[in-house]
Structure 1
Amino acid sequence: MTQRFAKAAAIALSMAIATPVLAENHADMGADTVVATVNGTEITLGHMILVRQSLPQQYSQLPNEVLFEGILEQLIQQTALQDSVEGTPRRVEMAIENETRSLMAAEAVGEVLASAVTDEAIEQAYQDTYGNAEPDMEYKAAHILVETEEEAQAIVEELEGGADFAAVAKEKSTGPSGPNGGELGWFGKGMMVAPFEEAVVDMEVGAISAPVQTQFGWHVIKLDETRMKEAPSLDEVREELRGQVEQEAVKAHIDALVENANVDKSGVEGVDPALLSNTDLLE
């Protein structure tokens, strides 16, 4: 929907909800139930339900009675406006084609997900991801960051002389962790820049490093603790794996469809990509 159409729809609904009328509730009514006609064009309960689903969040708190009358009046107004236009502009036809394409694609994706995302698929994804994974070492460290190697070396000597690491970090570190005594918390491999990580991996618990240079400056590192991180349980990563299964299933389905489709992109030749911004072509 274009910005102009969306704005018009919002204005119409805001006007319509000003005078709510109670609607009777009949459990036997279906989507094809006709609630109004405009110049012979039927407006059904299904049309109204779809509008309700597409409303912005700000309308969700309104009572059903208010929404019912507002949506109905919006559809009546839109139908009357539709009838006032002679013919269907090509830009509208193309917008309808795009919307139909998008909605049908969503239906196809929904069908794929309904059959692909099973407990068995999630359990298999867990085995594939974590079944043979080796426990990873994690490190808890603190650091003091300064601009020059000379400053870092002086800090090393100060610490070796018995100075408190956290106090020195609060006083001299230029890094964001300085006010917290230089504490970095727990981290695993790949989470720190290479020179920093390499230095930590080679350290003993409780040790103070020699000056270490990275693109951020010079670091003096203290290794506080290490631990082995075991693989998470299935329940801990179930939702993450569900998303992975969904993504892989949809991608495989789409790839297969496109591969077997008769796709001809020869029309792309000679088309300037800048034309995407030329809305005059829609007129």
Structure 2
Amino acid sequence: MTRMTTLLGTAALALALTTAAQAQDTTTEAPVADAPVAEAAPAPTADPAAVVATVDGTEITLGQMMIARAQLPQQYDQFPADVIYQGVLDQIVQQQLLSNSLTDVPARVGWAMANEERSLRAGEVITDLTKAAVTDEAIQAAYDEMVAAAAEEPVKEWNASHLLVETEEEAQAAKDRITAGEDFAEVAKEVSTGPSGPTGGELGWFGPGQMVAEFEQTVEGMEADDVSDPVQTQFGWHIVKLNETRDKPVAALEEVRAEIVGGLQEAVILSKIEELKAAATVTLAEPDAFDPAVLTNLDLLEK
């Protein structure tokens, strides 16, 4: 939807909704205490193909209004259905009047409509594909595979603490204090310049790739309760204490459900695209036929 179309729709709805809001302010009564909760009324039905208006012979259908209503922001839900209905109808009628007045249709309008139709049609296919592929059974099966893979090739995680200082000499001095018997956390609180210093240098659990390479290589070669020699990274000099290690636990199904659903959706969509591509004839222009930057030259659309 273009900016001007949005502005028109907003203007058409604003007057009706403002009037309704003012009427509600003067007629709404205080709710009765302990009033029984009314049962939800059944959803009204009608034929989406029913004509609700004509503009110089062009029919406006109930289905068009339904789609326009579905695209309204959630804030409009506070208004009565009859007010929304009239506002949406006014919006579409005004748009049709302006549309009918356009005698010289720019080529860009046709290209935009082609893009919109292509997107809507593709979206319908995607909806059907994902609805069929993403079932409770498929989600559970994908989760079971995840659990099995984690058991077959467990990923190690580390729980470590560190202190960060500017120089190697400062790091070695801190290490000497710890070796002499001082508590690592207390030394870290005193000398560390890193954000974890005030909490004793605690980093919690982390896995491969979550720390800079030098830090990860250090903990990989340590045993629980080991304290490292000074280690230099881009942030400065560290002394690292490895608290414990573990195999990365598998998250509960509900924690990874969204991730699994996304993976199932992506897989079925990509599979369908490859299937369609194999059966289709797709011809592309030569790679150097156009300057890629031409896509930003929107002035060409006005010619």
TM-score class, shorter: 0.7 to 0.9
**Structure 2 residue 135 is matched with structure 1 residue 118:** yes
Shift of 1:104: 0.2
Shift of 1:150: 1.0
Match of 1:224 in 2: 243
Task: Tell me the TM-score normalized by structure 2.
Answer: 0.83
Q: Is the 8 A contact 2:16 2:83 kept in 1?
A: no
Structure 1 runs of 4+ aligned residues shifted over 6 Å read: none
**Code of the aligned partner of 1:94:** W
The gaps in structure 2 that reach 5 residues or longer are 22-41
Match of 2:71 in 1: 54
Alignment of 1:265-276 (within 5 A): 265-266=284-285, 269-276=288-295
Separation of aligned partners in 2, 1:187 and 1:26: 51
2:86 is aligned, of 69, 92, 98, to 69
Separation of aligned partners in 2, 1:280 and 1:202: 61
Alignment of 1:179-194 (within 5 A): 179-194=198-213
- For structure 1, which segment, 233-242 or 37-46, has the greater mean C-alpha deviation from structure 2 after superposition? 233-242
Separation of aligned partners in 1, 2:298 and 2:269: 33
Separation of aligned partners in 1, 2:222 and 2:66: 64
Shift of 1:204: 2.8
Separation of aligned partners in 2, 1:177 and 1:276: 47
Q: Is the 8 A contact 2:162 2:241 kept in 1?
A: yes
Match of 1:215 in 2: 234
* Backbone CA RMSD of aligned residues: 2.5
Match of 1:11 in 2: 11
**Quick one: structure 1 residues 138 and 266, their matched pair in 2 at CA, closer, same or farther if it must change by over 3 Å?**
closer
SS at match of 1:78: helix
**Structure 2 residue 218 is matched with structure 1 residue 199:** yes
**Quick one: structure 1 residues 218 and 234, their matched pair in 2 at CA, closer, same or farther if it must change by over 3 Å?**
same
Q: Is the 8 A contact 1:16 1:71 kept in 2?
A: no
- For structure 1, which segment, 79-88 or 115-124, has the greater mean C-alpha deviation from structure 2 after superposition? 115-124
Q: How many residues align?
A: 280
Q: Is the 8 A contact 1:16 1:73 kept in 2?
A: no
Task: Tell me the TM-score normalized by structure 1.
Answer: 0.88
**Code of the aligned partner of 1:280:** D
Q: Is the 8 A contact 1:144 1:174 kept in 2?
A: yes
The gaps in structure 1 that reach 5 residues or longer are none
2:262 is aligned, of 234, 243, 265, to 243
**Code of the aligned partner of 2:118:** R
Separation of aligned partners in 2, 1:226 and 1:83: 71
**Code of the aligned partner of 2:53:** A
